[in-house]
Amino acid sequence: MTVRSDVVARLTGRAVSGERPLSRALAEVTLDDGRIVVVKRSTEPGAARAEAAGLRWLAAAGSVRVPVVHGHEEGWLVIDRVPQGRPGREAAVRFGRDLAALHTAGAPAFGAPPPDGPVDAYIGQAPMRNEQGTDWPRWYAEQRVLPYLRRAVDQGTVRAGEAAVVERLCARLPGLAGPAEPPARLHGDLWSGNVLWGADGHVRLIDPAAHGAHRETDLAMLRLFGCPQLERVLDGYQEVAPLAVGWAGRVGVHQLFPLLVHAVLFGRGYAEQALAVARSALAG
C-alpha cells in the first residue's frame, strides 16, 4: 500500500482498491465500495488544514455545495470526487443564488479565517495572512494589496517606480470602495478552475482561500478569469442579494488583489495587468 492509500484508508475508514495519479499533487483513489475520492498533497505548512477548514466553513452556510471533506493529516487532504457536467443556464442561475446566500452568511471580520483555520493560510501557492480588521478599505490595502505589491517589487516583477500608482489607489480606496458593507463569507480564490459544474446540475467549489472580506472580490475574480455563463450567475446573485449601485465600476479595484498574487506567482504579465487596472480605477 502506498502512503497515499494508507492516508485514504485512515481518513475514510475504507480499504483502497485502486489509484490513478492526476498530477504530482493530485490523485483519484477508488474505495472498496466503489466510491472515488480525490487526494491532494500539499508541501506548504498548514495548507491542508486551511483548505479543509475553508471547505467546511463554506459548507456550513448551507448554500453553495462543496465536496465532502473526509479529513486531512500531515499535508494530505481527502475529499469526494465531483462527477463533471457542462455549464448550463439553469445551473448558473442556481449557482448565483447560492453564492449570494454564501456571502450573506457573513464572517466575524474582514480577514477572519474559518473556524479551526490558521491565520497563516494560502491563496494558491502564495502565503495569505488572515489579520482581521473592521474597515474594508484600510484592511484591503494593508492586508491584501500592499503585501503582494511589496513582494512583486522585491522580486523585480513590479519596478520600484511603478509601485506608486498602486499606492495612490490604496490611499484613495475610501472614496472608491462604494457603500460600506458587512464582512461576507468568501471563497477567496474564485477563478473558473475552482468552479466545478457537476453532472447533477449543481456547482461545487474547490480549493478555497476562505476568509471574511468584501463580496464584490469573489465576483470580480469570476470575471477576471472567465467563468462560463457569468451573466446568468450574476442574474441569480442579484435576485438574492442585489449589489450596491456602481459595483460594475469597482470590479478593477477588487481584481487588483488577485492580479498582484498572480504577479508574484507567475510574473510580469500579471504585473502589467495590475498596473493597468490601478491606472484605470484612478482615472475613473
Which residues carry out catalysis? Answer: 189
Q: Are 157 and 264 in contact (CB under 8 A)?
A: yes
Name every residue whose Cβ is closer than 8 Å to that of residue 34 and which is 6 or more positions away in sequence: none
| Distance in angstroms (rounded) separating the CA atoms of residues 180 and 105 | 17
**Phi, psi (5° rounding) for residue 239?**
-65, -35
Note whether 144 and 129 are within 8 A (CB). no
Dihedral over Cα of 17, 22, 23, 28: its sign: negative
Cβ neighbourhood burial of 36 (10 Å; 0-12, 13-18, 19+): middle
Backbone region of residue 106 per phi and psi (left: phi > 0; alpha: psi in -120 to 50; beta: other values)? left
Contact 122, 209 (CB under 8 A): yes
Instruction: Find out whether 227 and 122 touch, Cβ atoms under 8 Å.
Output: no
Q: At what angle do helices 163-176 and 268-283 cross, to 10 degrees?
A: 40
